[in-house]
Amino acid sequence: MGDVSNDLSRRERRKREVRDRIMRAAMKRFIRQGFDDTRVDEIAQDADVAQKTFFNYFPTKQDLFHQLAEERIDELQEILEEERSGAGSTRQKLEHCFVRLSELLEERGLLARDLILEAMRARPPGMTGEDITKLHTAFGAILRDGQVRGDVRTDHPIEFLTEMVVGGFGAVMNNWVNIRDYPVKDRLAQTAAFLGEAISPKGAGRKGQP
């Protein structure tokens, strides 16, 4: 009996390891070449598995992409939760979140662009669906904390303020995937400053003031 369960867990571990290797290989290719220009045989070769093995794990390249997308959303959520429990005012947290998001975009290259394009083309499109609800929830938590400690305005409900923050982020992402040479890092920083100020309580002053 002990041997059987050992065999099982060994097999499970082995499957998990192959799956991770394929995912990592795919991610590297997508970052450099983008989703469309990456072929399954390239991923299989990089991951050192037969194409047949690839298809045992992922029926299509699209399936793999969706798994990867889900992981990236979880990663985004973790970043926002980390920032939430960090130091500083809500405005600073928001600015810091946007900086980290823009670093992530840079690091992830074409993959990031493809993920955003894909999110926009999904049915239903855009900023809802389970994934983007996670983003709303994470930003919303930061803003709610801010209302409690008094550096986020209370004359609008959190739900609405969150919509504006995610909307500003979405507008920049949208322009980034569509406009050549769009200064995404600068614009994200500018957007964070603008929104950080707009969500502050009445009379809290503008940029540069405490």
State the residues that interact with its own copies by CB under 8 A: 117, 120-121, 124-129, 155-156, 160, 163-164, 166-168, 170-172, 174-175, 177-179, 187, 190-191, 194-195, 197-198, 202-203, 205-207
| Nearest residue (CB) to its own copies, 47 versus 170 | 170
| Nearest residue (CB) to its own copies, 121 versus 149 | 121
Please say whether the dihedral angle defined by the alpha carbons of residues 131, 133, 135 and 141, taken in this order, is positive or negative.
negative
In the complex, least distance from residue 179 CB atom to its own copies, rounded to whole angstroms? 6
In the complex, least distance from residue 165 CB atom to its own copies, rounded to whole angstroms? 9
For residue 120, give both structure tokens. Answer: 């926009």
Q: Taking the mean position of all CA atoms in its chain, how far away is CA 93?
A: 17
Helices 90-121 and 184-198, interaxial angle, to 10°?
120
| Nearest residue (CB) to its own copies, 108 versus 156 | 156
Measured distance between the N- and C-terminal CA atoms of the chain, rounded to whole angstroms = 66
In the complex, least distance from residue 57 CB atom to its own copies, rounded to whole angstroms? 29
Count of other CB atoms within 10 angstroms of residue 183: 13
Task: State how far the Cα of 91 lies from the Cα of 86, in Å rounded to an integer.
Answer: 12
In the complex, least distance from residue 29 CB atom to its own copies, rounded to whole angstroms? 22
In the complex, least distance from residue 10 CB atom to its own copies, rounded to whole angstroms? 44
Contact present, 171 and 187 (Cβ < 8 Å): no
